[in-house]
Structure 1
Amino acid sequence: MVKIAENIIVGISIGDLNGVGSEIVLKTFEDNRMLELCTPVIFANVKIMSYLKKVYELTLNFHGIDSLDQLVVGKINVLNVWKEPVNIEFGKTDNEVGKYAIKSFFAATKALKESKVDVLLTAPINKYNIQSEEFKFPGHTDYLAKEFNENALMFMIHENLRVGLLTDHVPVNEVAKHLNEKLIAQKVKIVNDTLKQDFRIEKPKIAVLGLNPHAGDNGVIGKEDEEIIKPALKKIYDSGILVFGPYSADSFFGSNQYKQYDAVLAVYHDQGLIPFKTMSFGNGVNYTAGLSKIRTSPDHGTAFDIAGKNKASESSFREALYLAIDMYNNRNEYKELTNNPLIASK
């Protein structure tokens, strides 16, 4: 069935309740026009969401449900993942509150895997207080890769600026150890496939940054660019993917060189995210590329410093919602266009 507008079911994990997650979620759906685009399901507790609605002086209405079978299209559904009250203290790191963030995320991920929701939006979590025997991951991306048994890539999106990461939550002194031909080929392929099916770019051009200053200066400042990255990129290019580099990272964004490409792959976290967030903070989207399902999130964290003060902007979360819906539609259209009728008829 081809879904239209409000029939797209958006699962939302509520994130850390002591942070700004609930505020940006609720402010997004305070605008009734959002319900013309999708039907949201917030994985939390309806009593807690009603309390938070009052904190932020909002007027939206909830439809509380105990199972996804009770979902009503065109309503703001809140699935009761738990029934007990939670002690919310805005701006504080609390291990107990972290447990509820993970309960919400686990339930939403399960619904996504079972296709009971069409896309997943995740509100910010605190990477410290979510750690437990059940969750030993640096963030959402790594857990989703494990759950779907697929290779995932952190892909930051803002309009035509798209930045992916070869390595994400890896200490800087270990980045070089992770670099190899297989990893580079895997990540470039994910970006290439994503640009084709989710962004409908027919022949993507991908730039890859160098690890060392000046991309190693022909081996004078480190050998990884010459010995690992360049040979890997040549093989990938020869296979038919339009990939270029490695480029010196220090001037790549400031010179607007990035505008010549459909996406950029940075070697490590801060190399890509510092320029990305400098240019787009508050309006960017974190997208998990490489999965068979769609997951997006805002480009910021829990923002404990302003939590509970009614100061948080919902802009990035709203952009994450728009992007998830657009990619859901693009991916379905791509599947239809590329579907092999001989295979489909078997």
Structure 2
Amino acid sequence: MTRALITIGDPSGIGPEVALKAIHKLINENTDFVPILIGDETVIKKAKQEFNIRENLSRWGEKAQKDSISFVDAGIIKTDNFQVCKDNKISGKASFEYLRIAWDMLRNNSGDCLVTGPISKTAWALAKIPYKGHTDALSDLSGEETCMLMCAESLRVLLITTHIPMKKIWEYITVNYLFSSTKLTAEFMKKFTGITNVRIGFCGLNPHAGESGNIGTEEIDIIKPAIEKLHNHNFCVSGPYPADSIFKSSLSHNLFDLIVSLYHDQALIILKTMFFEKLINITVNPSGWIRTSPGHGTAFDIAWKNKADPSSMAEAIKTAVEMARK
């Protein structure tokens, strides 16, 4: 069976709850996988009790009963009286350690895919973790270029820029970067979706995709040359299209297998509004290792109150397991 390495994310947030609830849900649905939780034993056991998870827990490597949940103890948080519902240094340190352990296990073939619970970028900063999120941390850990691919139902959206200030997006919106990141993502999709000729549609940057240069020239100067370069490498690509209509058009008429979005909120506003419970994040990479995550954050306002919906986490786990079988 497929071994899914699942980090609990920031222990102060909803990560432990959605991880355990999602695993419980998938076990009840007879999903063919072996869940391996990576977190702190104290946090995992507290979450099991708080959220009435009936499956037994066992340390990874010990003989486990059927439908039990194995876990790896990171050894950071040693008491169940840890701070919750708030950014803090210890939770930041712990959540990064969970990722590091899980990555080492994936790299050493102790798991087939990786699913990460939501973390707080503020907590990572408090703990002096030098990354803005999982995607760039995994780029450093793997030594490879990574891209963020957001997926919900039939929409797959590449984010050219992710967790950076708007004023810095110009460092990434270049012909060469648009070309290389789109090419990498399309090739990654071919491997895991079976789509041999990925249909790609580009968002414009400016309102109305620039209106032929009357509302900005980035479409003419940057986006169209990148599209032409992709054409020259035999990719099926078109655009740029107005960002306020491309998503609706694609959903209604099945126009694209991949939409290229130029900045974070250009895509995430529509995706989180329409598909919050189904949205997942996939890390694109050249080697084909598998990492997914739910498309939501730590939700400190409802953390540890038994209110979190595990649907997105369950979708992330199912997707990772399916990808690992390709």
Pick from 125, 144, 152 the counterpart of residue 146 of structure 2.
152
2:261 is the counterpart of 1:261? no
Q: Are residues 1:81 and 2:77 paired?
A: no
User: How many angstroms apart in 1 are the aligned matches of 2:253 and 2:142?
Assistant: 31
Give the match for residue 51 of structure 1: 46
Q: Deviations over 1:15-54 (max 9, x none)?
A: 1111110001111222434665111111123343122211
CA displacement, residues 233-276 of structure 1 (integer Å, 9 cap, x when unaligned): 11211220111111111222244467310010100100111111
1:9 to 3, 9, 12: 3
Task: Tell me which residue corresponds to 1:186.
Answer: 180
Matches within 5 A, 1:267-278: 267-278=262-273
Name structure 1 gaps, 5 residues minimum.
Answer: 1-6, 331-346
Q: Deviations over 1:275-326 (max 9, x none)?
A: 1112211111111112521000001000111111101111000000111011
Cα 1:128–1:253, aligned 2, differ >3 Å: closer, same or farther? same
Distance, in Å, in 1 between the alignment partners of 2:286 and 2:303 is 31
CA contact (8 A) 2:184 2:286 kept: no
| Match of residue 306 from structure 1 | 302
Contact 2:12 2:303 in 1 (8 A): yes
Correspondence 1:96 to 2:90 = yes
Contact 1:148 1:291 in 2 (8 A): no
Cα RMSD, aligned residues only: 1.9
CA distance in 2: counterparts of 1:73 and 1:60, whole angstroms: 9
2:32 corresponds to which residue?
A: 37
Q: Does 1:206 align with 2:203?
A: no
SS of structure 2 residue aligned to 1:270:
helix
Supply the AA of the counterpart residue of 2:293: S
Change (3 A) 1:227 1:16: same
AA of the residue aligned to 1:37: D
Summarize the Cα distance change of 1:122–1:291 in structure 2 as closer, same or farther, 3 Å threshold: farther
Partners of 2:237 and 2:18 in 1: CA distance: 37
Shift of 1:8: 1.1
Shift of 1:221: 1.6
Over the matched positions of the two proteins, sequence identity in percent amounts to: 34
- Aligned in 2, Cα 1:235/1:8: closer, same or farther, shift over 3 Å? same
CA distance, structure 2, for counterparts of residue 302 and residue 89 of structure 1: 14
Report deviation, 1:144. 0.6
**One of 318, 322, 326 as aligned partner of 1:322:** 318
Q: CA deviation at 1:212?
A: 1.2
Q: 1:98 to 1:133 in 2, by over 3 A?
A: closer
**In the alignment, is the contact (CA less than 8 A) between 2:88 and 2:126 conserved in 1?**
no
| Equivalent residues of 1:91, 1:307 under 8 A apart | yes
The alpha-carbon deviation at position 57 of structure 1 amounts to 2.1
Deviation at 1:195, TM superposition (A): 1.9
CA distance in 2, matches of 1:22, 1:178: 34
Aligned partners of 1:51 and 1:28: how far apart in 2? Answer: 16
Aligned length: 321
**How far apart are the structure 1 equivalents of 2:35 and 2:286?**
21
The 3 A distance-change label for structure 1 pair 159 and 257 is closer
